[in-house]
Structure 1
């Protein structure tokens, strides 16, 4: 794999659907050398304009779906090291250096943030249930001792593109782990804080949404 150094820029891919309220605070927390790439997945609240006004690069993704937005960002990125994180305020971009460090040191190929709630309301029961089920399925499938399939992760861009990721919905993170494990990648987890989101979730804000996400991810694991 192509080596990266601490002086190389990192692009932070932020899949975005109607996150205008959260973006200013999210972007303000980016460390020096970490550059935002907001992937607008059909927002109607001016998210793209807010992102540009706060210094982020913006690309559009017409195909709806979390995986579609993530992959569009991956293809548009130019930095050797990329991070992916949600744009809803639940994750703190200031913690990204702790995830990039093992990759930069060549101690890991993929680092995933393991969420630790900062507030009881940050992780409702339906999301904890979904996470436990999916993490267990992934452990059995890959042998990787994951405790959380969290939405913050770091890897080298060119290496990610070799994984042949096909899922364009909520199964994208699970497929990333499965294909990376099959390719012999070293996968680690680092604890990260998880705060209540700003606004209402489009995927997991309802029991039905959580169920759909589990179905997508379970399908990716079975495949």
Structure 2
């Protein structure tokens, strides 16, 4: 069994598609981050394990899901239907191929469909990836929102960011700890419902700001 952490804020429209496409052997953990719609109830009806995140923020939701997970290998992915759970087995296989020891697999987004990845979001991601590569001596193209790693290794990183800087902090600390990190192409589709981050310029600016803060703080 592989636990799949799905941070969730008002994803009632997307969750049915996401959860019905979850592969056999993968258990969805939907972390409700103070949704004001029926996300939690819909997730429960579709067989997901629902966890409430007591603190608002993307990183807070991811951390709550990680604490609720029980499997050796865990995956993290967005719950907005921009990513297909059907690609998760490939992520887990890629992790296994890296062998023993701490490792991280990132899904490198390949846009499919009009509006899947707005230009402002791509530019923000590209700037952050370049900054990360210079800082951590990595060769990455995307701070991919679909990921696979070993649960105990992630907990050992002691990630502290509880906002949008969480994904960058994970990669940065993993690289500095000597983890093997690889990318795997995954299809990136137009999300369902209203975007809170990449679909808006303001959301992208907030995410970039949080991640730049992480780059500064971890460097201390």
TM-score by length of 2: 0.95
- 1:218 counterpart residue number: 212
| Matching residue within 79, 88, 92 for 2:71 | 79
1:105 matched to 2:97 = yes
Q: How does 1:14-53 map to 2 (within 5 A)?
A: 14-53=6-45
1:102 Cα deviation from its structure 2 partner: 2.3
Deviations 1:14-55 (A, max 9, x none): 000000110010011111100100000001111000001001
> What's the secondary structure of 1:170's corresponding residue?
coil
**How many residue pairs get matched?**
215
Residues 133-142 or 104-113, more deviating: 104-113
Gaps of at least 5 residues in structure 1 are: 1-8
Distance in 2 between residues matched to 1:221 and 1:120, nearest whole Å: 32
Deviations 1:82-126 (A, max 9, x none): 000000000000001111112223447100000000113101111
> What's the secondary structure of 1:87's corresponding residue?
coil
| Matching residue within 91, 102, 106 for 2:83 | 91
| Matching residue within 144, 151, 163 for 1:150 | 144
- 1:6 counterpart residue number: none
| Matching residue within 163, 175, 179 for 2:169 | 175
> What's the secondary structure of 2:19's corresponding residue?
helix
1:202 Cα deviation from its structure 2 partner: 1.3
Gaps of at least 5 residues in structure 2 are: none
Kindly report the root-mean-square deviation, in angstroms, between the aligned alpha carbons of the 2 structures.
Answer: 1.0
Distance in 2 between residues matched to 1:205 and 1:130, nearest whole Å: 12
> What's the secondary structure of 1:67's corresponding residue?
helix
TM-score by length of 1: 0.94
| Matching residue within 109, 117, 125 for 2:119 | 125
| Matching residue within 191, 194, 213 for 2:188 | 194
Distance in 1 between residues matched to 2:114 and 2:184, nearest whole Å: 20
1:160 matched to 2:154 = yes
Distance in 1 between residues matched to 2:132 and 2:72, nearest whole Å: 27
Asked if the contact 2:98–2:180 (Cα under 8 Å) also holds between the matched residues in 1, the reply is no
| Matching residue within 84, 104, 115 for 2:109 | 115
> What's the secondary structure of 1:161's corresponding residue?
helix
Residues 205-214 or 67-76, more deviating: 205-214
> What's the secondary structure of 1:215's corresponding residue?
helix
- 1:10 counterpart residue number: 2
Asked if the contact 2:117–2:198 (Cα under 8 Å) also holds between the matched residues in 1, the reply is no
